[in-house]
Amino acid sequence: MDYDGLLEKAHKELPEDIGTGERFEAPALEVLTEGNKTIIRNFSQVLQKIRRKPEQVIKYFTKEFAVPANQEGERLILHRKLNRDLLNKKFNEYVKLYVICSQCGKPDTHIEDTGHRSKMLVCEACGARTSVK
Ligand SMILES: [Zn+2]
């Protein structure tokens, strides 16, 4: 790797809360596989960061991967061998869809059940409301 490459790498590894106006990035999942199971070791921690309930994220994963999942303490167990990068990619998509405000890019949001089978992503920072699935 050349010097510029190293600089770029170092820059990317800076903690996400340095500087203001930085876009929120989904926390990385710590994934390990055990036999035919895939385990997300830091599941509860990650949920705290994105302020979502486990069942919302579990539902998303079970649907996306068509695989049963259950929470065991801090960890989430997915009952199939899954690729770590793919899991993180899907999780990033979840965060983009269900956590980050599409108007201001901040993660200070919550999901409001408006009934009629529809939900709204409500931003506490700018007040934007976006319908989500
Ligand atoms: Zn917003």
Is 114 in the same domain as 95? no
Residue 123 C-alpha to ligand 1 middle, in angstroms? 5
Question: DSSP labels for the chain?
Answer: --HHHHHHHHHHTS-TTSSSSPPP-PPPP-EEEETTEEEETTHHHHHHHHT--HHHHHHHHHHHHT--EEEETTEEEESS---HHHHHHHHHHHHHHHTS-TTT----EEEEE-STT-EEEEETTT--EEEE-
In terms of domains, do 112 and 84 share one?
A: no
Position 78 in a domain: yes
Domain extent, residue 109, equals: 102-133
Instruction: Tell me how far the alpha carbon of residue 106 lies from the centroid of ligand 1, in angstroms.
Output: 6
The answer to whether residue 8 sits within a structural domain is no
Query: Which band of pLDDT confidence, cut at 50, 70 and 90, is reported for residue 24?
Result: confident
Give yes or no: residues 39 and 63 share one domain.
yes
- How many other CB atoms are there within 10 angstroms of residue 68's CB atom? 12
pTM: 0.80
| pLDDT tens digits along 78-114 | 999 999 999 999 999 999 999 999 999 999 999 998 8
Centroid of ligand 1 to alpha carbon of 24 (angstroms): 12
Residues 84, 118 share a domain = no
| Same domain assignment for residues 129 and 95 | no
Is 32 in the same domain as 64? yes
Distance 131 CA to ligand 1 centre (A): 13
- Tell me, in angstroms, the distance from the centre of ligand 1 to residue 105's CA: 6
What is residue 18's predicted lDDT score, i.e. its pLDDT?
47
Output the average pLDDT for the chain.
89
Query: Closest Cα to residue 104, out of 12, 11, 24?
Result: 24
Read off the pLDDT of residues 60-80 as tens digits, 9 standing for 90 and up: 999 999 999 999 999 999 999
Same domain, 107 and 95: no
Q: Are residues 51 and 77 located together in one domain of the fold?
A: yes
pLDDT of residue 14: 54
Q: How far apart (Å, rounded) are the C-alpha atoms in residues 112 and 72?
A: 27
Domain count, the chain: 2
Domain match, 85 and 111 both: no
